[in-house]
Structure 1
Amino acid sequence: MTDKLRDYFDEMVVYKDLKNNNFFSSLGLPAFLRDYLLKMFSDDFGNFDVDEVSAFVKKFIPKKEDWMSIKNKIIYENESVQILTKISVDINIKTGEISFAIPDFGVTEKETLIEPAIWDVYKEDLINTGETWGIIKLGYRPPDDTVKPKIPGKIKLTGFKNFRPYTVDVEYFKEMRSNFETDEWIDILLGAIDYNADGYETKLQKLTMLTRLLPFVEKRINLIELAPKGTGKSYVFGHISKNGLLTDGGKVTRSKMFYDANRRKPGYICGPDYVAIDEVKLVNFGDENEMRSILQGYLEYGTFNSNGYNGESDAGVVFLGNIKEENMDEYGYMLGELPTLFQETALLDRIHGFVKGWDIPRMNDGLKLTGWALNSEYFCSILHELRNDMSYRAIVEKIVEVPKHADTRDTEAIKRLATAYLKLLFPNVRNEFDVDKMEFRDYCLTPAMKMRRIIKLQQGMIDSEYKNKDVPCLMVRE
């Protein structure tokens, strides 16, 4: 299959040696940056010059502790510095001033500026909701005490190169899917997110792992996953895609998640494709009643009002937590160790599906990929673009039959999950006649109903109103 993959995807394939190559793991780079470097520096056989890569990383991808040195070069040595990082831009409504933040280095909008002439050159790349990755060139505007009001010193942006090293042709990606059997395609998807398909014992393990990608490919999919430690939750949601956001637990308040009135800045939810809240058992949600109220509205409609600020987003919300072995039972109550926020049926009802993380094996050497695979940055850019393709949902509407009196939330959840599975596993379908009905049932519709059923079972253990209520049985039209 390797030859087929390289033949059909050519420039979008890189050699990943995650089992034996400690060089990249020592750098601590996310997968999309690692694959960017592999593509830039590797030859046709996957070999690269370590010194050459090291020099690039040292020059363009500094660590947080290097920021003081960077400031010294910019401010006191009057040098320009270029770094590859993520940047967010803001325009001050009152003054019209344009500023930017570099979140990975703790640089805020108050410390920066983009001069109008520079803005005119780079605004097409920089006007983007949330954060944008790129190589930014930084300089310094010194303070001026001779005028009133005094002009403070600020770091200024003097150049920008967008971080999209590959041409993302979604239509080509769709067409190429037709050259692979479904089992082959499943293995390709696993390789794209750094996993060795041969390291899994069952197809169920493979498909459960790929379920984590549903929020990558479909707007506003809300999931909860409980899994044993070491199954790679944080890696998938935090290192594979530049378009997602993984919070590291701690405190996730209304202002952090939705809108910070003091800073007048939208929260986590605005910008990324998904927000994954890690270690949810340990998260402090602040005022839980307040958080539950705004979260329920957002999970349902994708809109929110916080301190007078009306916001909206397409980001899905994923709740990640560990679970003890004795609690790994969908027919038993699994949410008892979670914050009380989750022990309320109205909130649970707005979570589309439950991922049984214990069906995913713990990370081991056999799961580390060594071989040719789709470039992670390219792959996740494709998934990001597919989020805007409404044709798949139209196909699902045409081929799925809903029983009378079916619960609307259940039906919507199942259809949304099935649509995401369809995009992920069968992106080549263009209309309902392209769909293999049996494969759609087995790989898309049935898994979606199973994920929703677990939510229903957990609701029944909280409130007797939901007890013994099953999800509607959606069928594939013949």
Structure 2
Amino acid sequence: MTTLDDKINEHFAGFVVRKDLVKAVKGNAIVPTYVLEYLLGQYCATDDEASIETGIETVKEILRKHYVHRSEAGLIQSTIKEKGRYKVIDQISVSLNEKTDSYEATFDNLGIKKVAVDSGTIKAHPKLLVTGVWCIADVQYEFSEDARTSPWMLETIKPIQIARVDYEGYKAARGQFTKDEWIDLLMQSIGFNPDAFGRRSKLLQLMRLIPFVERNYNIIELGPKGTGKSHIYSEFSPHGQLISGGEVTIPKLFVNNSNGRIGLVGYWDVVAFDEFAGREKTANKALVDIMKNYMANKTFSRGVNPMGAEASFAFVGNTDHNVPYMLKNSDLFEVLPPQFHDSAFIDRLHAYLPGWEVDVIRGEMFTRGYGFIVDYLAEILRHLRQEDFSNRPDQHFRISEKISTRDRDAIYKTMSGLLKVIFPAGGESAEDLEELLQLALESRKRVKDQLFRIDATYPEVDFYYLGSDGQKRRVQTVEEQEFPQFYHRRPAQDPKDQETSAEDGDVIEGDDGAPLAPPTASAKPALEEGHHVFAENRKGVSYDKLFGPYIDGARRIIVTDPYVRLRYQVRNMMEFVEMIIRRKAPEDQVAIHLVTAPNEGEIQIQRELLESISDAIIGTGVEFTWAFDTSGTAHARDIVTDTGWKIVLDRGLDIFQPPMRREGFNLGDRLQEHRMAKGFYVTYVRQ
């Protein structure tokens, strides 16, 4: 157990569970995570190993005896008949039989229908009428000579969810954790090892929770396959419903005119549309129109009185192409069905979560630490829907007055959601607010910038905010920084006319014009002083693009970086040396000297790794030497050349997120441009 795990168990005893236990008990039971964690929470909410082992066996026994496998439905039916009654765990839905004026339940796995249900049960659990709900139920069997009477009866039913939570206790316990500890606790709660994610990647994962804490919040996430886009909506909460984007109808989603029964939006906090993308798909125009009205006004109507609901919408789908292809040839919404590739629909989205920044899920990314029982957290998030934190940033920041009301509302809703998730009891600093405000602005800007591509009638919007010092701070999306040559293409222009930015001899620029392409024989860029900031999760960055033009022609280079200690950091140094070998002429001699700090406890390993660089490059025309700064005074991280350039980096050479894949291959291990960067800055100074 880590120090964080100890702290979690101390302050949330009884409401947390070790997350790897779900796999230990699941077996071949096809049940949502919240069902398993509900049971684990009853028997394994402890840090005592002996109690955990006993609890696991108890849960396994409950699943073995009471969970209904479809293949064993006949056996369970026989057991109920022989015993007269039996407890089962199954997904249950209820419908009204108007001919008999009675409610009848259907057990999905057990395969029985027309199970008698009393009106009191329906009043207590109305969601049963809308879609299947996982429950623990007592089923009775009483045979009747009357063929019209079903022998099956539902005696008791208990939806699998925590009945009540102490919200004030939750807020008080939050105060015992730092911001970073709390974010890591939430990451472990949704099943991930926080060490496998950078700061921005963690926040993107937590953005998926916003629909659960914000009423009528509309978010879309499009990205590559296998990044876990739909997991949180199908497995995380009993208050969310995941449906296939092609299977939804107006009566199912909104209201059935024949009986006046409200659809999914009236019963669920979140309705998520899976597999929403696909240009070949078609959608009912009337459905799209009602959705657009609901997303904008929180109401819907089908020729009768308008009705309101609070359900948030989440749209998830896979992209067909990478980001530069979409930016060059179409837009970031290109995969949507034609009826949804509509400016009015897209404008109603509060945020676009960039799915291409979320890594493909791998085994080593799952946690073995403690996190909230997801049902407990789901109830907390549901309670938070009653709060409104959207005005919190106003005490420190002011959003541009040129931003429209719809844009402003979207930004504030995203901000409110992030604050509810990370700072439910308040206490955030101005720095914390600024980090979240930038993410909220960027998430809406991604929507608005693509709208301008799709429909030229939409005006360009300058997304910026003012700090307490009155300074204007503009916000850019990561892909805007990474692919400026494609991002700013205007809709009236032909994509073929936009290809000049990346031609040979040109310099692809980062934000503020940082050189990101090596010079060529045909045209060398003019080197300029400057300070440039690079966003976290950005790709397309390499030592060659950042440093190459500034070290060309140097005969002596001094690298000062106190954190060339761990194996992957020494590998960074080796890659810097490799870059110089590639760029220099074969006949040139270059000396590289590293000043770093000793890695206490593992100095010998560090020495051997650094010496291996010297040995590996013998005969290349490059000499590598190094020395420890034993005084402890070398805190600077910079690169100085004998040609008069000094390159200052806040992270030294450690600008990339460390690789997590333990087996197989990762393109980022081979090519720096395909690694995700940490957030960092670089400053070029002519001495």
Amino acid at match of 1:413: A
Paired with 2:271 and 2:111, the residues of 1 have a C-alpha distance of: 20
| Residue 212 (structure 1) aligns with | 208
- Given that residues 89 and 127 in structure 1 are in contact (C-alpha distance below 8 angstroms), is that contact kept between their aligned partners in structure 2? no
| Residue 30 (structure 1) aligns with | 32
For normalisation by structure 1, the TM-score amounts to 0.85
Computed over aligned residues only, the root mean square deviation of the Cα atoms, in angstroms, reads 3.2
| Residue 350 (structure 1) aligns with | 348
Paired with 2:94 and 2:305, the residues of 1 have a C-alpha distance of: 19
Secondary structure, aligned partner of 2:53: coil
Q: Which runs of 5+ in 2 are unaligned?
A: 470-687
CA apart distance, 1:4: 1.3
Of 405, 412, 420 in structure 2, the residue corresponding to residue 408 of structure 1 is: 405
CA apart distance, 1:17: 2.1
Amino acid at match of 1:453: K
- Given that residues 239 and 268 in structure 2 are in contact (C-alpha distance below 8 angstroms), is that contact kept between their aligned partners in structure 1? yes
| Residue 63 (structure 1) aligns with | 69
- Given that residues 206 and 360 in structure 1 are in contact (C-alpha distance below 8 angstroms), is that contact kept between their aligned partners in structure 2? no
Paired with 1:70 and 1:318, the residues of 2 have a C-alpha distance of: 37
Of 426, 450, 453 in structure 1, the residue corresponding to residue 442 of structure 2 is: 450
1:428-439 equivalence runs, <5 A: 428-429=425-426, 434-439=427-432
Paired with 1:36 and 1:363, the residues of 2 have a C-alpha distance of: 24
Q: Measured at CA, do residues 81 and 302 of structure 1 come closer, stay the same or move farther in structure 2, by a change above 3 Å? A: farther
Paired with 1:217 and 1:299, the residues of 2 have a C-alpha distance of: 16
Paired with 2:294 and 2:151, the residues of 1 have a C-alpha distance of: 37
| Residue 522 (structure 2) aligns with | none
Q: Measured at CA, do residues 26 and 112 of structure 1 come closer, stay the same or move farther in structure 2, by a change above 3 Å? A: closer
Paired with 1:325 and 1:417, the residues of 2 have a C-alpha distance of: 27
Higher helix share: 1
Q: Measured at CA, do residues 25 and 415 of structure 1 come closer, stay the same or move farther in structure 2, by a change above 3 Å? A: farther
Paired with 1:349 and 1:403, the residues of 2 have a C-alpha distance of: 19
| Residue 564 (structure 2) aligns with | none
Paired with 1:94 and 1:127, the residues of 2 have a C-alpha distance of: 20
Amino acid at match of 2:450: Q
Paired with 1:29 and 1:115, the residues of 2 have a C-alpha distance of: 26
Q: Measured at CA, do residues 415 and 436 of structure 1 come closer, stay the same or move farther in structure 2, by a change above 3 Å? A: same
1:292-371 equivalence runs, <5 A: 292-306=288-302, 308=304, 310-327=306-323, 333-371=331-369
1:10-159 equivalence runs, <5 A: 10-17=13-20, 21=23, 23-24=25-26, 26-42=28-44, 44-46=47-49, 47-49=52-54, 51-74=57-80, 77=82, 79-87=84-92, 97-102=102-107, 111-115=114-118, 119=120, 125-127=124-126, 133-140=134-141, 142=143, 145=146, 151-153=148-150, 155-159=152-156
Paired with 2:345 and 2:295, the residues of 1 have a C-alpha distance of: 8
Secondary structure, aligned partner of 1:48: helix
Q: Which runs of 5+ in 1 are unaligned?
A: none
- Given that residues 90 and 110 in structure 2 are in contact (C-alpha distance below 8 angstroms), is that contact kept between their aligned partners in structure 1? no
Secondary structure, aligned partner of 1:427: coil
CA apart distance, 1:330: 8.1
Deviations 1:38-75 (A, max 9, x none): 2333364343245433220022221344444444555x
Secondary structure, aligned partner of 1:34: helix
Q: Measured at CA, do residues 293 and 476 of structure 1 come closer, stay the same or move farther in structure 2, by a change above 3 Å? A: farther
- Given that residues 461 and 467 in structure 1 are in contact (C-alpha distance below 8 angstroms), is that contact kept between their aligned partners in structure 2? no
Amino acid at match of 2:10: D
Q: Measured at CA, do residues 313 and 477 of structure 1 come closer, stay the same or move farther in structure 2, by a change above 3 Å? A: farther
Paired with 2:171 and 2:351, the residues of 1 have a C-alpha distance of: 26
Deviations 1:60-114 (A, max 9, x none): 221344444444555x547212223454556789986444455666766xx2332
Paired with 1:55 and 1:156, the residues of 2 have a C-alpha distance of: 25
| Residue 585 (structure 2) aligns with | none
Q: How many residues align?
A: 458
CA apart distance, 1:306: 3.4
Paired with 2:165 and 2:60, the residues of 1 have a C-alpha distance of: 27
CA apart distance, 1:266: 3.7
- Residue identity over aligned pairs, in percent, reads 27
Q: Measured at CA, do residues 247 and 99 of structure 1 come closer, stay the same or move farther in structure 2, by a change above 3 Å? A: same
- Given that residues 100 and 112 in structure 1 are in contact (C-alpha distance below 8 angstroms), is that contact kept between their aligned partners in structure 2? yes
Paired with 1:371 and 1:402, the residues of 2 have a C-alpha distance of: 39
- Given that residues 249 and 282 in structure 1 are in contact (C-alpha distance below 8 angstroms), is that contact kept between their aligned partners in structure 2? no
- Given that residues 246 and 283 in structure 2 are in contact (C-alpha distance below 8 angstroms), is that contact kept between their aligned partners in structure 1? no
Q: Measured at CA, do residues 301 and 66 of structure 1 come closer, stay the same or move farther in structure 2, by a change above 3 Å? A: farther
- Given that residues 90 and 109 in structure 2 are in contact (C-alpha distance below 8 angstroms), is that contact kept between their aligned partners in structure 1? yes
Paired with 1:72 and 1:284, the residues of 2 have a C-alpha distance of: 46
- Given that residues 38 and 48 in structure 1 are in contact (C-alpha distance below 8 angstroms), is that contact kept between their aligned partners in structure 2? no
| Residue 376 (structure 2) aligns with | 378
Secondary structure, aligned partner of 1:342: coil
Amino acid at match of 1:276: A
| Residue 161 (structure 1) aligns with | 158
CA apart distance, 1:257: 2.5
Give the structure with higher Rg (CA): 2
- Given that residues 351 and 443 in structure 2 are in contact (C-alpha distance below 8 angstroms), is that contact kept between their aligned partners in structure 1? yes
Paired with 2:21 and 2:361, the residues of 1 have a C-alpha distance of: 12
- Given that residues 251 and 284 in structure 1 are in contact (C-alpha distance below 8 angstroms), is that contact kept between their aligned partners in structure 2? no
| Residue 654 (structure 2) aligns with | none
- Given that residues 280 and 319 in structure 1 are in contact (C-alpha distance below 8 angstroms), is that contact kept between their aligned partners in structure 2? yes
- Given that residues 138 and 158 in structure 1 are in contact (C-alpha distance below 8 angstroms), is that contact kept between their aligned partners in structure 2? yes
- Given that residues 15 and 38 in structure 1 are in contact (C-alpha distance below 8 angstroms), is that contact kept between their aligned partners in structure 2? no
Of 438, 441, 445 in structure 1, the residue corresponding to residue 434 of structure 2 is: 441
Deviations 1:174-224 (A, max 9, x none): 111111111111111100111110112x21111111111111111111111
Q: Which moved more, 1:89-98 or 1:321-330?
A: 89-98
